């Protein structure tokens, strides 16, 4: 019975997460982003598959992936977020990653997470505009 | 003056002499208060006239590793559910009734299977497209969280991205096994 309470407490209090980025993805992200990260654009859930890694190609993108509310507010500590982001980027968007891919570390996550933008959609729009310019 | 006029005249004068204006106001006020208080009286209204599963025969999964009655709120997978069980509405614990469409996005939680005591990850999808089933209403909410954490909230109407946004019933499908952490300390 003890571990039952422990799991429940870990899930509720947040913190270290499941200790496995795949499980953290299922529990914290998959409900909306779906198992293959294809998202649900019709209801405003962005597609991450084949896309999300491109954010690392522009200035501010690396911080944004930490600061986007679904990530910044997830009940996971900085180390678990770092693991989750590294896992997601390589699993869903390996082809878009810059070479060499520099994995997130807990310290970097903590830094970005402590200064989230006030206007998230505007930040996102600016990043997408930068990506657009990158292509032309 | 006609007889009718005289009668009306007498009646209104009598009424005016016998009653005070405040008295009338007070009585109207009391009536309004009473009407407001009536719904608070302990009368069983919830589910009145709704079968709510009482006429739904129990069922089993046929799998000893997946014990319980999927048409009962007590079934282990329903630990976080809030809604009508699709298994009472022509579907099953993990599939929608014919004519409805499963909402693609939803929240996920974990429930413990009493057979192996493992924690399984469950997704609680809504089935959409017909009138609310109104049978087997369950509201267990274990490990459910407020709406500011939408990925853990079951009060959100999850009929999003479906052709129809009409909510019919809910399912609880197994997605995977959660880790049993015994090193999280305390608790």
pLDDT at B131: 94
pLDDT greater than 60 at residue B48: no
B110 Cβ contact partners less than 8 Å away, ≥ 6 residues apart = A7, A11, A27, B119, B120, B121, B122, B143, B178
Q: Give the nearest partner residue to B178 out of A23, A45, A73, using CB atoms.
A: A23
Can you point out the beta strands (E) in B114-166? 119-124, 126-128, 137-139
Q: How many CB pairs under 8 A join A and B?
A: 86
Q: What is the distance between the terminal CA atoms of chain A, rounded to a whole angstrom?
A: 59
CA distance B184 to B187: 8
Mean pLDDT of A32-55: 94
Lowest mean per-residue pLDDT among A112-121, B24-33, B103-112: B24-33
**B186 neighbourhood in chain A, CB within 8 Å:** 6, 9
Which residues of chain A lie closer than 8 angstroms to B187, CB-CB?
5-6, 8-10
CA distance A99 to chain B (A): 33
Disruptive mutation site among B108, B140, B187 for chain A (greatest number of A CBs within 10 Å): B187
**CA A131 to chain CA mean position, Å:** 18
Q: Angle A29-A74-A108 (CA atoms, 0-180°, nearest 5)? A: 110
Residue carrying structure tokens 């944004």: A64
Whether the predicted model's global pTM rises above the 0.90 cut:
no
Average pLDDT over residues B150-179: 91
Distance CA(B61)–CA(B174), nearest Å, equals 13
Note the pLDDT of residue B37: 64
Q: Which of A2, A8, A43 sits opposite B160 (nearest CB)?
A: A43
Q: Minimal CA–CA distance to B147: which of B135, B162, B158?
A: B158
Check: CB of residue B79 under 8 Å from CB of residue B112: yes
| Average pLDDT in chain A | 89
Express each pLDDT in A71-125 by its tens digit: 999 999 999 999 999 999 999 999 999 999 999 999 999 999 999 999 999 999 9
Q: What are phi and psi of B102, to 5 degrees?
A: -80, 130
A10 at interface of B, judged by CB pairs closer than 8 A: yes
- B163 and chain A: CB distance < 8 Å anywhere? no
Kindly report the CA angle at A73 between A118 and A7, in degrees rounded to 5?
A: 175
Q: Is the pLDDT of residue B98 over 80?
A: yes
Give which of A4, A5, A7, A23 to mutate to test B binding, by max B Cβ within 10 Å. Answer: A7
Is residue B150 over pLDDT 70? yes
The pLDDT score that the predictor gives to residue B14 is 84
Identify the closest residue of chain B to A8 by CA–CA distance.
B143
Mean pLDDT of A54-77: 95
pLDDT on residue B184: 39
pLDDT of residue A121: 94
- Distance between CA atoms of A12 and B109, rounded to whole angstroms? 11
* Cβ neighbours of residue B23 closer than 8 Å, sequence gap 6 or more: none
Collect all residues of chain B within an 8 Å Cβ-Cβ radius of residue A20: 179
Write the Ramachandran bin of A55: left for phi over 0, alpha for psi from -120 to 50, otherwise beta: alpha
- Yes or no: say if A9 and B112 are a contact pair by the CB < 8 Å rule: no
Q: What is the 3-state secondary structure (H, E, C) of A34-103?
A: CCCCCCEHHHCECCCCCCHHHHHHCCCHHHHHHHCHHHHCCCCCHHHHHHHHHHHHHHHCHHHCCCCCCC
d(C-alpha B76, C-alpha B80), whole Å: 9
């Amino acid at each position: 019975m003890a571990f039952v309470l422990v799991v429940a407490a870990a899930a509720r209090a947040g913190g270290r997460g499941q200790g496995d980025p795949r499980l953290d993805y299922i529990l914290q992200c998959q409900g909306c982003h779906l198992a293959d990260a294809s998202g649900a654009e019709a209801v405003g859930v962005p597609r991450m598959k084949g896309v999300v890694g491109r954010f690392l190609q522009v200035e501010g993108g690396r911080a944004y992936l930490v600061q986007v509310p679904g990530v910044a507010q997830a009940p996971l500590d900085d180390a678990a977020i770092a693991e989750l982001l590294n896992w997601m980027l390589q699993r869903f968007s390996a082809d878009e990653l810059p070479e060499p891919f520099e994995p997130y570390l807990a310290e970097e996550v903590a830094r970005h997470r402590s200064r989230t933008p006030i206007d998230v959609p505007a930040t996102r729009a600016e990043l997408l505009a930068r990506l657009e310019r990158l292509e032309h | 003056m006609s007889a009718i006029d005289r009668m009306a005249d007498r009646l209104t004068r009598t009424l005016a002499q016998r009653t005070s204006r405040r008295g009338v106001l007070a009585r109207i006020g009391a009536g309004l208060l009473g009407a407001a208080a009536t719904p608070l009286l302990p009368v069983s209204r919830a589910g009145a006239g709704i079968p709510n599963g009482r006429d739904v025969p129990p069922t089993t999964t046929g799998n000893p590793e997946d014990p319980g009655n999927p048409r009962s709120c007590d079934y282990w997978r329903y630990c976080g559910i809030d809604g009508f069980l699709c298994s009472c509405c022509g579907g099953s614990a993990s599939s929608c009734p014919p004519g409805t469409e499963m909402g693609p996005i939803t929240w996920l939680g974990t429930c413990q299977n009493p057979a192996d005591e493992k924690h399984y990850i469950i997704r609680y999808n809504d089935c959409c497209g017909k009138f609310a089933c109104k049978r087997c209403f369950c509201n267990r909410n274990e490990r459910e969280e407020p709406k500011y954490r939408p990925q853990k909230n079951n009060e959100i109407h999850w009929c999003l991205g479906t052709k129809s946004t009409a909510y019919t019933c809910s399912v609880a499908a197994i997605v995977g096994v959660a880790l049993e952490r015994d090193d999280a300390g305390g608790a």
